Chain A
Amino acid sequence: MAEPGHECVFTGLSAADGLAIGRIVIERTARHGPRRAGSPADEKEALNAAVARAAREIEALAAQADELGAGILEFQGALLEDEDLMAEVLGRVAEGAAAHVAWASVIDGEVAEYRAGDDEYFRARAEDLLDLKARVLRHLHGAAADAPEKEAKDGILLADDLTPSRFLELDWSTWGGAAIRGGSPTSHVAILARARGIPLVVGLHGQLDDRLGGKRAVLDARAGRLVIAPSPVTMAAASDRLESLAADRRAWQDLIGRPAITADGEPVQVLINVDDPSLLDGVSPAHCDGIGLTRTEFLFRDGRLPDEESQFAVYRRVVAWAAGRPVTIRTLDAGGDKPIPGITPHGESNPFLGERGVRLSLRRPDILTVQLRALARAAALGPLKVMVPMVTVPEEMIRVRDLLNDAVGALATAGVAHARPALGMMVEVPAAALAAEGFDVDFFSIGSNDLIQYLTASARDNPAVAPLADPRNPAVSEMICRVVGAARAKGIHVSLCGDMASNPALVPLLLDCGLRAMSVAPAQVGGVKLAIHRYRGSEEGAAGRDG
């Protein structure tokens, strides 16, 4: 795999961002020798003993794991106590199969079932079964004594694969990161690594070569690269970057729990975008000023029409999480790149310019009304704002407001607890951005992703033209400045909730436009707050804000 002494680069996929300098530690997947099977009674006893040991280990690991890790281990532990699953294995043993053969074949059958179908979540659960399979087999083969190292000062783990439970066993405070030949960026291990900020590259090309063990290496997980025996130039560049990343990280940690203020002392609101409320458990509300965008498309997955109660339960949970901070929830934004079977139209020649967002909601007021009722009920529990996507002309907002008035009126008549939520619009259609002052709304939220693609006439899902959809195009700043100006003139709140705000490098541009509220991906809150903290209004920026 490598010529000794020469820099050697291996590429894979980035699974968790980060950079590490260290030494390679190779971990080989345990290979079991042959195992001699006994009588069915002996095999049953051996299996039960192996399962019991595996269960004890998993329980001990779960006791020290964080919530995410404990959840994964808890499921594995429950599988070991699954009477149906174990009955199947014991049945094969009773028929004369060796314990390790029976166990492996039953689990492999289950793995195939979990992997069948498109559901990413269930496919990922197959990893848990394989993890469990390996653990029990290790005990059946009596190989429990070979406890691999848990600690390695600045070690970079190089392996064929890494199971979730092995990941949770390692003391990551001593390791630099990991590169594995298997795995995928959506695996459990990738999720765990991202949550803990551990650099991880998966799908690494090349073979494991024992001679690489102990060699110096640079793991550039952002680029999906592992450089073994780095040249002095590579090393120097990596150390510089590591130092500035470490300094940034220290600075974030200081800033993340505090309100964001520019170097000039101007406060800036930093809100978060929520794609799926079930992910909120891992985010601290104290780190943000509220939620600037909650997507609701997930509720309508597979064309389901959730009833009012189901929606209310979800909205209530989001409002409760925010604990008094403002929460903006967007009405269904189907169509374009988010088709929903049974709701979005078929066969449009250009779905991005077709019946999507509010256009679709106004064609299906029945669906919108259920959502508005659930939102008005949740508004009784905390400061909730309703945001309407893809608005083009003022008439659309008048019609949505009428529907909201009807929904609020009906709730009042029925004596159901509710409150009137603030009603605002996303500004993402250039015509709306240019004529923003003419809309009767309570707030604006700039949707920069669509605004940029419509402004530059460049589809964001087409790599051939993606470079043209450039957030740094001056026309984009011009448009944002205009919307901010219109909001000031009207005396209403304005924020931005597209990907632009989640990129710390673009934050100064937005602040130059006079924007003082942005909604960002939860993982970027620290980086964005740091960019705000370092921002000093330039002459140029001030001119832009006045103009």
Chain B
Amino acid sequence: MTDAAPDTAYARGEAVVRDPTGLHARPAVKLTKLAKGFDARIEIRAGRSDGWINAKSPNSVMKLKVAFGETLSIRASGGCADRAVAALVGLIERDFDG
């Protein structure tokens, strides 16, 4: 949640959650599993809220309570940050391969 690195150090992306139930347990687990596959520090937030949370924590992702139609912002820093953001955006856009 604290960003020591300047804003420009982040790779960024956005995607809209298409699942009718929102980001419920199953998609949240899929998202964190994918995030854990990257070394980069990856964070997400819902809509325009200020709180960035760790995308590798299923508990924190669940507690965002992201609803259907809401935009999820993603930012990553460190190794393969661009690829990590692209992968997460892809997963959300494919509706979590549901």
Contacts and interface: CB of A to CB of B under 8 A. Distances in A.
Given A125-B25, A276-B20, A310 B69 contact: yes
A75 B58 contact: yes
B56 A309 contact: no
A348 B59 CA distance: 42
Interface string B65-79: 101110000000000
Contact of A277 (B20, B24, B29, B62): B20
B57 A83 contact: yes
Interface string B57-95: 111101101011100000000000000000000000001
Given A84-B54, A84-B59, A78 B29 contact: yes
Contacts of B60: 82, 84
Nearest to A77: B29
A538 interface: no
Interface string A87-131: 000000000000000000000001001100101011001001000
Interface in B17-37: 18-21, 24-26, 28-29, 32-33
A182 interface: no
A304 B46 CA distance: 15
Interface stretch (A200-208, A213-221, A294-302): A294-302
Contacts of B54: 83-84
B29 A310 contact: no
Contacts of B63: 113-114
A235 interface: no
Interface in A297-327: 298-299, 301-302, 304, 306-307, 309-310, 313-314, 317
Contacts of A313: 18, 95
A304 B62 CA distance: 20
Contacts of A85: 57, 59
Given A83-B56, A122-B65, A304-B69, A309 B16 contact: yes
A171 B56 CA distance: 35
A71 interface: yes
B24 A299 contact: no
A110 B58 CA distance: 13
A314 B25 CA distance: 19
B60 to A, nearest CB: 6
A278 interface: yes
**Residue of A82, A85, A114, A302 with most partner-chain B CB within 10 A:** A82
B84 to A, nearest CB: 16
Interface in A52-74: 71-72, 74
A429 B63 CA distance: 43
B18 A314 contact: yes
A138 to B, nearest CB: 21
Contact of B29 (A74, A113, A121, A309): A74
Nearest to B18: A313
Nearest to B63: A113
B64 to A, nearest CB: 11
Interface size class of A (residues with CB under 8 A): 35 or more
B68 to A, nearest CB: 7
A301 B57 contact: no
A84 B68 contact: no
A78 B63 CA distance: 14
Interface in A260-290: 276-278
Contacts of B58: 75, 78-79, 81-82
Contacts of B95: 313, 317
Contacts of B19: 278
Contacts of A75: 25-26, 28-29, 58
A465 to B, nearest CB: 34
A72 B62 CA distance: 13
A147 B32 CA distance: 33
A317 B97 CA distance: 12
**Residue of B16, B26, B56, B69 with most partner-chain A CB within 10 A:** B69
Given A82-B57, A307-B69, A298 B20 contact: yes
B68 A301 contact: yes
Contacts of B16: 307, 309-310
Contacts of A125: 25, 62
B67 A301 contact: yes
A76 to B, nearest CB: 9
B39 to A, nearest CB: 14
**Residue of B21, B28, B62 with most partner-chain A CB within 10 A:** B62
Given A71-B25, A75-B25, A304-B67, A310 B18 contact: yes
Contacts of A277: 20
A82 B25 CA distance: 13
Nearest to B60: A84
Contacts of B57: 82-85
A394 B32 CA distance: 52
Given A74-B25, A74-B26, 17 more contacts: A74-B29, A78-B28, A78-B33, A82-B60, A83-B54, A83-B57, A84-B60, A85-B59, A276-B20, A278-B19, A278-B20, A278-B21, A299-B68, A304-B68, A307-B16, A313-B18, A317-B95
5 contacts: A82-B58, A83-B57, A125-B62, A301-B68, A310-B16
The 4 A-B pairs at the shortest CB distance, nearest first, are namely A84-B57, A75-B25, A78-B58, A313-B18
Interface of B: 16, 18-21, 24-26, 28-29, 32-33, 54, 56-60, 62-63, 65, 67-69, 95
